[in-house]
Amino acid sequence: MREQRIINEFHQGQCIDAWTLFGAHPAFEGEEGVRFTVYAPNARHISVIGSFNGWDGGRNPMERTGFSGVWSVFVPGAKHLDSYQYRIGYGFDKTCDKSDPYAFFSELRPKRASVVYDLSELSWSDGEWMRSRTVGMNKPISVYEVYAGGWKRNEDGPMSYARLQEQLIPYVKEHGFTHIELMPINEHPFDGSWGYQASGYYSCTSRYGTPKEFAAFVNACHNAGIGVILDMVPVHFVRDSFGLIRFDGQPLYEYAASEEAESQWGTLNFNLAKDEVRSFLISAAVFWCRIYHIDGIRTDAVSNIIYRGGDPARGTNEKAIHFLRRMNYFIKKEFPDVMLAAEDSSAFVKVTAPTAEGGLGFDYKWDLGWMNDTLNYYAIDPLYRFYEHGKLTFSMAYFYSEKFVLPLSHDENVHGKKTIIGRMWGNEEQQFAQARNLYAYMYAHPGKKLNFMGNEIASFREFDEGKELDWFLLEDPRHLSFLRFFKELNHLYLTHGALFEKDYDFSGFRWADSGNARQSVFSFLREGEKEILLCVMNLTDAGYENFEVPVSEAGMWKEILNTDEKRYGGSGRINPVPLRAGKRNGPGSLACCISIRLAPFAAVWFTGTKKQKSTRKTVK
């Protein structure tokens, strides 16, 4: 029996489809109505209250399902879009009104009730996309991270899913991004949490529309060739009284001990050692993949799962780590083509190793070390970059230990940190030049790419969830030129296999010159199946007319990107014709070199043709 199977797996912490039993399900049980089911083992009695019964707690009492802690009732006449809550009696004479942990939809803030929603309303036409999608290890992945309420806004508030479908998708496609990563769109009461303090783990937020409209947005993304990644927060939840806190009068989802329950964000930590909580969260992840065809999940604050309170000094949380492995195992078992990424600031090993090999089971890990070192370096006065040269070479010392994504995310654009361009050293002209240099470096470096909305227009204002991006900046030629650069950079990335085919293969990267600290010039080679790409970066305000760069192949090298091009806002010191590589007598294993023009703060890409290994057999 399906119901008993779900309950058994739910209590074992291995349920992947708990939402098919729990929550509110429109049904026909002799007459039209809705079946409500909730887990509350410590409750004395529970009633469903809602718009269908005048919020009267005496009208629709629920019944226990054996000794499982599960309560259920069928309410005739209840229907799609009715509002409801659970009135839970506990202790001797106490009651509380709670929203449904498994609700598929919720009332618009500041209201708190859940809403009955018939998911059979969702429709899809993305079969070709779903059949062909992959996690993209040897493909180009350039992610555009978006806060749905702040990309663009209407005069009276945030844009709807429908308006985002009309405007965001064409913008992302035009500018060469492959995926949209949405900051959490599950229900949450406080806009200032950006969705990271959730109240509804199955509820698509009503701020921007209905579940049907969100599904239409995802469907349209897929039909435009764009993947959709969602943020998930399995660490902590809001402590608002209508939510999961002491759900049935006792700590049910959180730890019982306050020192374990209290999080650093003023929220409550999930008790990830508890099997029913594990089933709740695992099922939530599977729910978004199955019901909304989501292509990837980015798990927030993984270090706070690995270590107690996110502090390595407090030791690892083995039961929480076990939950993480179990969740990723079940997601990959059901959806091997769904991308799993960890936002993890720790040095914990094997984050991207399969669970069968003792790893955490993620496909990718955000390289927060690369992000910190890189932004710190670009903030240094060029006179002193000599002393910090290793900040830009260190990433390749550990890069192949995990499968990394290079993130310049919302976290790098808030909390007084300044935006990406605002972190660059120097006056505004020098900041624009170095920001172009930074992005040319980022896209040439091994690893998938992620950028927060606004990075592409060189926004100087930090992210504010109540405002749209400063699109008026594009009236300034410098910002418009920067967007042109970013667009062309993305499209170059998409079309040059050397930049992605061997992201996680040692043979895909080679330093041309990593030791030129005196001039603060870096150069490295990326290798694909048919092409070699050379990236040269000048990180000072000194320019050169004949700068010698080691290369791996004789023959011609063609410049395909120069951040100093006039159309990008540079001075135009470029290499307009292909350069022939000559013999080199300097140190190192590279026998050839080219002599290039290299402008101050410029980054330059050249492509060369790989020598093909001969397949001719020797005849004896």
**Residues 153 and 297 occupy one common structural domain:** yes
CA atoms of 236 and 270, how far apart (whole Å): 5
pLDDT in tens, 148-177: 999 999 988 999 999 999 999 999 999 999
Tell whether 382 is covered by a domain: no
CA atoms of 610 and 498, how far apart (whole Å): 11
**Residues 338 and 249 occupy one common structural domain:** yes
pLDDT higher than 90, residue 470: yes
Q: What was the pLDDT predicted at 612? A: 65
CA atoms of 64 and 251, how far apart (whole Å): 20
**Residues 204 and 302 occupy one common structural domain:** yes
**Residues 149 and 297 occupy one common structural domain:** yes
**Residues 478 and 525 occupy one common structural domain:** no
pLDDT higher than 80, residue 609: yes
Reduced to 3 states, what is the DSSP secondary structure of residue 159?
coil
**Residues 545 and 478 occupy one common structural domain:** no
pLDDT higher than 60, residue 614: no
Average pLDDT value for residue range 470-486: 98
Tell whether 564 is covered by a domain: yes
CA atoms of 115 and 206, how far apart (whole Å): 10
Q: What was the pLDDT predicted at 29? A: 81
**Residues 257 and 361 occupy one common structural domain:** yes
What CATH number is given to the structural domain containing 552?
Answer: 2.60.40.1180
Tell whether 393 is covered by a domain: no
Tell me what percent of the residues of the chain surpass a pLDDT of 70: 99
What are the catalytic residues?
300, 343
Q: What was the pLDDT predicted at 31? A: 84
Residues 382 and 376: beta-carbon distance below 8 Å: no
Q: What was the pLDDT predicted at 618? A: 46
pLDDT in tens, 93-151: 999 999 999 999 999 999 999 999 999 989 999 999 999 999 999 999 999 999 999 99
Tell whether 128 is covered by a domain: no
pLDDT higher than 70, residue 388: yes
Average pLDDT value for residue range 441-462: 98
Average pLDDT value for residue range 427-432: 98
**Residues 260 and 336 occupy one common structural domain:** yes
Confidence of residue 305 (pLDDT cuts 50, 70, 90): very high
Residue 398: CB partners within 8 Å, gap ≥ 6?
369
Q: What's the whole-model pTM score?
A: 0.96
Number of residues in the chain: 620
**Residues 483 and 526 occupy one common structural domain:** no
What the block records as the tokens of 307 is: 């270590």
Residue-number span of the structural domain to which 545 is assigned: 508-609
Tell whether 61 is covered by a domain: yes
Residues 447 and 503: beta-carbon distance below 8 Å: yes
Residue 66: CB partners within 8 Å, gap ≥ 6?
none
**Residues 319 and 255 occupy one common structural domain:** yes
Tell whether 394 is covered by a domain: no
The 10 Å CB-count burial string (b at 16+, else e) for 459-481 is bbebbebeebbeeebeeeeebeb
**Residues 330 and 468 occupy one common structural domain:** yes
DSSP symbols for 515-584: --TTTTEEEEEEE-SSEEEEEEEE-SS--EEEEEEEES-SEEEEEEEETT-GGGTS------S-EEEEE-
Tell whether 384 is covered by a domain: no
Domain count, the chain: 3
Q: Which residue has the higher pLDDT, 362 or 620?
A: 362
Average pLDDT value for residue range 210-221: 98
